[in-house]
Chains A and B, each alone.
Chain A
Amino acid sequence: MGRCVRFVCNMLASTGAATIFFGKGLLGIVESGRIGRRTVAQIYAIGCQSIFVIMLIGFFCGMVLGLQGYYTLVKFGSVGLLGSAISLTLIRELGPVLTAIMLTGRAGSSMTAEIGVMRISDQIDALDVMDINSMAYLVSPRLLASLVAFPLLTALFDVIGILGGYVTGVLMLGINEGVYFYRIEASVLPIDVWGGFVKSLVFALLVTTVCCYQGYTTHLRRDSAGPAAVGNATTQAVVVSCVCILAADYVLTSFFL
């Protein structure tokens, strides 16, 4: 009983602390003078270095959707709808969610580890002592960079996924090419596209906040200290981010439908 209460209290406290952390990070975007260069470096780290893996995942995701969709639709004799099934699934759900989860694994975990190591080796304290706002130096550029990178990578994922569906549906299973693309254009609505982008923006803020927060507070962990704390912080950041992504996805989907 007492343990339960303490658990809930801890959850509340860390949620509150992470929210304040997020606010400070946003404030740092305005305050920091030289944020441009660091943001470009972070876009490179978060965005450019993830292009290949996102394309790979997107392509296979589209291919498997094409296969599954084909064998379901063929039972109703409406394989012509394959294009709309693939594009709607990708644009509304899988694109934003899978991109965010992949980026959590690829970019989020390295954010946590990097900031965590900086924390345990006094580098963050050194920044503060030099009167360099460590939040504005470390967290704000990452927030900005992920706001750029997440939607762009989501769009890339969607387009590559549709191409993947084209490969299975049209090239391998022989659906008419014109029908495939006509169906996609006819069934996707503006709200689907914008809803997907809003999701990816929300995921960008969630993932970056959670991952940076875990790294930034590595020294406050009670379960471990030193390098082990960096490891635990990284694990926790990935787990919490993924849970947040899926929970937020449910809430956002219920808004848009």
Chain B
Amino acid sequence: MRDCIVGLFVVVGLLCVAYLSVRLGKMDLFVENGFPLLARFDSAQGLRVGADVEMAGVAVGRVSAITLDDNPQHTQAVVHLQLFKDYRLSEDTIASIKTSGLIGDKYITLSRGGSSVILGAGDTINETESPVDLETLIGKYAFGGV
């Protein structure tokens, strides 16, 4: 009897753990099914690991890591994208970092290009747009730059 209650407790607890880690923690149970891509940005300001990657407003993947390409000539942020599957993106696909709302989280949106060359797993997207810096924008507006 007591063993049954302990068993029930462990099962209920593990269900909660599973919800937290799989649904909320975005634990990838099938990592090998993903499709990795890289994208180089001049700035990845505000972007966090786990952020959504969208195409036409639909989530198609997540940011799996953000690293720094410490090249003295041209320092860039390298963002590792993990798409859910191979969407057959062309090599001139544009990746841009956007903000949801005025002060919301940053996410990445992809727009297809026209080239016939298709990106393979692990290839790099070079056409990128860094996030809009709100302060610079306000500064430009205030001092008549726009």
A associates with B: yes
Interface set of A (CB-CB < 8 Å, partner B): 40-41, 43-44, 47-48, 51, 78, 87, 91, 148-149, 151-153, 155-156, 158-159, 184-190, 192-194, 196-197
Question: With a CB–CB cut-off of 8 A, which chain B residues contact A48?
Answer: 5-6, 8-9
User: Which stretch (B17-25, B39-47, B83-91, B121-129) binds chain A?
Assistant: B17-25
Question: Known: A155-B17, A193-B20. Contact between A188 and B25, CB under 8 A?
Answer: yes
B20 engages A155 (CB within 8 Å)? yes
Tell me whether B105 is interfacial, beta carbon within 8 Å.
yes
CB of B50 within 8 A of CB of A190, answer yes
| Contact assessment for A153 and B6 in the assembled complex, using a CB-CB cutoff below 8 Å | no
Residue picked from B20, B101, B105, most chain A C-beta under 10 Å: B20
* With contact pairs A189-B48, A190-B27 given, residues A47 and B9 touching in the complex (Cβ less than 8 Å): yes
Within the complex, what minimum Cβ distance (angstroms) separates A183 from chain B?
9
- Chain A residues contacting B12 (CB-CB under 8 Å) are 51, 152, 156
* Number of chain B residues close to chain A: CB under 8 A: 27
Q: A152-B10, A152-B16, A155-B16 are in contact. List 13 more A-B contacts (CB 8 A).
A: A43-B6, A43-B9, A47-B13, A155-B13, A155-B14, A156-B16, A158-B16, A185-B24, A187-B105, A188-B24, A190-B25, A192-B24, A193-B24
Cβ-defined contact, B52 with A91, below 8 A = no
Chain B 86-126 near chain A by CB (<8 Å), digits 1 or 0: 00000000000000010101000000000000000000000
Main secondary structure of the interface of A (DSSP, over half): helix
Residues of A within 8 A of B137 (CB): none
Q: Which of A149, A159, A187 has a CB less than 8 Å from the CB of B20?
A: A159
Contacts from B to A (Cβ < 8 Å): 2-3, 5-6, 8-10, 12-14, 16-17, 19-21, 23-27, 48-50, 52, 101, 103, 105
Residues of A within 8 A of B13 (CB): 47, 151-153, 155-156
B6 touches A40 (CB 8 A): yes
Question: How far does the alpha carbon of A114 sit from the alpha carbon of B123 in the complex, in Å?
Answer: 63
Can you offer 25 A-B residue contacts whose CB atoms are under 8 A? A40-B2, A41-B2, A43-B9, A44-B9, A47-B10, A91-B20, A148-B10, A151-B17, A152-B10, A152-B12, A153-B13, A155-B20, A158-B16, A159-B16, A184-B24, A185-B23, A185-B24, A189-B25, A189-B48, A189-B49, A190-B27, A190-B50, A192-B25, A194-B21, A196-B20
Q: In the complex, which residue of chain B has the Cβ closest to the Cβ of A160?
A: B16
Q: How far is the CB of B24 from chain A (nearest CB, A)?
A: 4
A159 with B9: CB separation less than 8 A: no
Output the nearest chain A residue to B12 by Cβ-Cβ distance: A156
Chain B residues in 8 Å Cβ range of A152: 9-10, 12-14, 16-17
A40 CA to B10 CA, complexed, in Å: 11
A185 neighbours in B (Cβ, 8 Å) = 23-24
> B59: nearest residue on chain A (CB-CB)?
A186
How far apart sit A23 and B52, CA to CA, in the bound complex (Å)? Answer: 45
Q: A202–B12 Cα gap in the complex (Å)?
A: 22
Question: How far is A47 from B3 in the complex, measured between Cα atoms in Å?
Answer: 12
Q: Are A186 and B105 in contact (CB under 8 A)?
A: yes
Centre residue among B12, B52, B103 by max chain A CB count within 10 A: B12
Measured CB to CB, the closest approach of chain A to B46, in angstroms, equals 13
Q: Give Cα distance in the complex from A184 to B25, angstroms.
A: 10
Least CB distance, B69 to chain A, in whole angstroms = 23
